[in-house]
Amino acid sequence: MTVLITGAGLIGRETARQLRAQGMKVVLADWRGLDADTELAVRAEQVDVTDLDALSALVHRHGIEAVVHTAAVLTPGFAHDPLQGIRVNAMGAAHALELGRRFAMRRVVLAGSATVAYSAFGSLPATPIPEDFSIRVLGERPGSLYACTKLFMEHLALAYANQHGVDAVVLRFGAVLGPERGRATSVPGRMLETLLDAARSGRPASFDDTRLLWGGREEFVDVRDCARAVIAALEAPKPSQRIYSIASGEWHSFPEVVAIVRESFPSLPFEEIALPSTGISGFPFQRPAPTCIDSARDELGFIPRYGLAETVRNIAMSHREQHPHAGSR
């Protein structure tokens, strides 16, 4: 099977790496263009997901049979150009699904976000949060443009499946962490990078952007588990629910994250920080419970492999390779 992956970010690259390790043919497309990458060993294409004609030509050229759509503008990007964020996230998802319809793809897997539920945290019970959680249409509408586009993508995928027979699956990822190429752009990535930079410099971490902090506890997911979930979604025989939460099943306070980072960098300097009463990314409510991941296990056969401690150790190892003079054990 030849798989098109849109977006060469954390999830896109790791999914390409794991698919290639399984012998799959992969075409990795990104609007920025990609340098030759012997590590990934994939076909690289410079394609904008807002250009349906270019995507269709790519499908013809490579005989694409399935699509993994990860291309997106993240929350910080919306602050700079909200219209472009909407264009990429909304039309990019629509185009991935339209490819599924026009070319009768085996499956279209789309990278969603747990942020679609964050605005409902104030009224949800303190029990594991299912995919089909209750939300008030107005009072608990998505709390950011990014979350709006991700909720739109979910409904669009379900409509394409019901009305056009597209075999679509959306994976609702928790806060994703993994080794970054260059500076982190996501909120959780920037949070961890700030702590690792402090370990490298020997100066206490400075969190000028309070969106990187949270009160209560938050859950994270290793990018390697995200890729494993994508592959499980590509291969699952009958993913009838179509929307699945992908997380580690654990949740952590900010001080717990600091303690986990200190396991890899004991010399990490840290001064006590006044934590907000809000959740991560400035969402108004703290998380009431971790996410229920039973449906991903039952219908996709996905079980998370990496807890946060292992995730941080993996990122810390990569960080040391980039910054060999960082503090260490």
Task: Kindly report, residue by residue over 106-146, the tens digit of the pLDDT.
Answer: 999 999 999 999 999 999 999 999 999 999 999 999 999 99
Range name among 68-77, 175-184, 218-227 with the lowest pLDDT average: 175-184
pLDDT digits (tens, 9 = 90+) for 89-100: 999 999 999 999
pLDDT digits (tens, 9 = 90+) for 155-173: 999 999 999 999 999 999 9
How many other CB atoms are there within 10 angstroms of residue 290's CB atom?
A: 20
Please report the pLDDT score of residue 245 as a whole number.
98
* Strand ranges of the sheet holding 107-113, from the earlier edge strand across to the other edge: 43-46, 25-30, 2-6, 66-69, 107-113, 168-173, 243-246
* C-alpha to C-alpha distance for 56 and 136, rounded to whole angstroms: 38
**In this structure, are residues 11 and 176 in contact, taking their beta carbons and an 8 Å threshold?**
yes
pLDDT at 194 over 80: yes
pLDDT at 323 over 70: no
Residue with tokens 């694409």: 64
Interstrand relation of 2-6 and 66-69 (parallel, antiparallel or unpaired): parallel
- Within 13 A of 307's CA, how many CA atoms are on the CB side? 8
**What is the C-alpha R_g of the chain?**
19
User: Residue 147: CB partners within 8 Å, gap ≥ 6?
Assistant: 113, 115, 116, 118, 119
How many other CB atoms are there within 10 angstroms of residue 286's CB atom?
A: 18
How many other CB atoms are there within 10 angstroms of residue 276's CB atom?
A: 16
pLDDT digits (tens, 9 = 90+) for 298-319: 999 999 999 999 999 999 887 6
